[in-house]
Amino acid sequence: MTPAELTGRARGHIVALVDPVCAMHLHVVTPFRGLKDAAERAGFALEAVSSFRDFDRQLTIWNRKFNGDLPLYDAAGQRLDTLQLSPGERVMAILTWSALPGASRHHWGTDLDLIDAATPPGRQAALTAAEFAPGGPFAALSAWLEEHAARYGFFRPFRGKRSGVQPEPWHYSFAPVAELARRQLSCETLAAALADAPLAGKSVVLPRLDEFHARYVAAIDWP
**Tens digits of per-residue pLDDT, 30-45?**
999 999 999 999 999 9
Residue 160 pLDDT? 87
Query: How many residues are there in the chain?
Result: 223
How many structural domains are present in the chain?
1
List of the chain residues with pLDDT < 50? none
The model's pTM? 0.94
Residue 179 pLDDT? 97
Residue 121 pLDDT? 65
Residue 79 maps to a domain: yes
Domain limits for position 11: 3-218
Residue 223 maps to a domain: no
- Estimate the crossing angle of helix 29-41 against helix 139-148, to 10 degrees: 120
**Helix, strand or coil, per DSSP, at residue 189:** helix
Q: pLDDT, tens digit, for every residue of 96-128?
A: 999 999 999 999 999 999 999 988 766 678 888
Residue 61 maps to a domain: yes
* d(C-alpha 158, C-alpha 146), whole Å: 13
* Alpha-carbon distances of 149 from 3, 36, 90, 93, 173, rounded to whole Å: 29, 10, 34, 30, 10
- CATH number of domain containing 34: 3.30.1380.10
